[in-house]
Amino acid sequence: MQEQEPTVFIIDDDEAVRDSLKLLMQSVGQRVEVFASPAEFLASYDENRPGCIILDIRMPGMSGLELQSKLNEMHCILPIIFITGHGDVQMAVQAIKDGAMNFIQKPFRDQELLDLINDGLKLDSEQRKELLEHKEILKRLATLTEREREVLKHVVEGKANKVIAADINLSQRTVEIHRSRVMEKMGTKSLAHLVRQVMQVKDQVEL
Amino acid sequence: MNVTMSYNRSVFILNNDRHTLNTISEVCQRLNIETKTLGSGAQLLAELDHEAPLCIFSTSKLADMDSTALLQHIQQLNDELPVLMVGQSGEVHCAVNAIKQGALDFFTQPINSRRIQVILQTLLAKDHEQ
């Protein structure tokens, strides 16, 4: 599943644009899917498929910006590259504030777009890797007992075993045992790595 | 020079056209904020050594440096200082870069005094909280 080939998802209401972009993608051997509207894209959206989105900012019905905020709500991590026209400054600013990766202004050169797509696919793959790591860390954290979590919390705060022992009323030897179980369960031998793991998921879990 | 009627920090305005300058000045006057007009990016950076303004309104087209460089310099001096850019409606690229570079917002000319007022009021409220 992880090795899935990335796809460029193109969403534009203009058929001529869709066709030419599709051709461009195919000419460089890039897997591509085109959609005439945000609704059409949402209907087939699958969060497990890697890639990036090329999105027209102006469309009848649901606009590009509306699709972006919908995707944000859905925690979609696909990087978005907006296609904007001349004079769309306020919309482009909004799009970037809302987390769009980049934008391209019409008319553009093919290579310009291809470069942006390269960046997009790279970003997506990095984000997915990170997400996978987070999941793994969370999974490991979930196997800790309450005591082990407590010890971990103190360890991450940088306290020595002796201090932790006094803080939570255990013998130093018991703290040492908990600590080594924590290291084992978290799959690490280094304190620095342990701390880094906890820091990586600190927004998602409280010790 | 410590006699000042205002409790508010001042607003720096960089290199803007007359209409933009007047609009910002008027709003600032209403809100009891002093303004300081600066002629170049270098002048602005020098001024930032002496004073931390409430925010900076800068044109997107400076004579002595490009706006991305200006934003970088400002951030090195004070990364919490809000910078508001003012530019033309066609400058999508410039606007996006400014936001990515940490500008708080990008306005196109002619600027709307209500939006300026809302932003300044928000910044004032935040400033007084601290």
Domain locations along chain A = 7-127, 143-200
A97 CB neighbours in chain B (<8 A) are: 99
What is the predicted pLDDT for the residue at A82?
Answer: 95
What integer best gives the mean pLDDT of chain B?
Answer: 91
Give per-residue pLDDT as tens, A110-122: 999 999 999 999 9
Mean pLDDT by 10 residues, chain A (207 residues): 83 95 96 97 96 94 94 96 87 93 92 97 96 94 94 93 93 94 94 92 84
| Averaged pLDDT for residues B48-53 | 93
Among A197-206, B26-35, B42-51, B74-83, name the one with the lowest average pLDDT.
Answer: A197-206
What is the predicted pLDDT for the residue at B6?
Answer: 47
Query: Predicted ipTM?
Result: 0.75
* Domains of chain B with bracketed CATH: 11-129 (3.40.50.2300)
The count of other CB atoms within 10 Å of the CB of residue A115 is: 13
Q: Which helix (H) or strand (E) element contains residue B11?
A: strand B11-14
Q: Which helix (H) or strand (E) element contains residue A15?
A: helix A15-27
Instruction: Say whether pLDDT at B60 is over 60.
Output: yes
Homologous superfamily in CATH for domain A7-127: Response regulator (3.40.50.2300)
| Chains A, B: CB pairs < 8 Å | 33
What is the predicted pLDDT for the residue at A3?
Answer: 63
Three-state secondary structure readout of chain A: CCCCCCEEEEECCCHHHHHHHHHHHHHCCCCEEEECCHHHHHHHCCCCCCEEEEEECCCCCCCHHHHHHHHHHCCCCCCEEEEECCCCHHHHHHHHHCCCCEEEECCCCHHHHHHHHHHHHHHHHHHHHHHHHHHHHHHHHHCCCHHHHHHHHHHHCCCCHHHHHHHCCCCHHHHHHHHHHHHHHCCCCCHHHHHHHHHHCCCCCCC
CATH no. for A143-200: 1.10.10.10
Give per-residue pLDDT as tens, A131-163: 999 999 999 999 999 999 999 999 999 999 999
CB atoms A103 and B105 under 8 Å: no
Residue of B nearest to A102 (CA): B96
Cβ under 8 Å to B: A residues 183-202: none
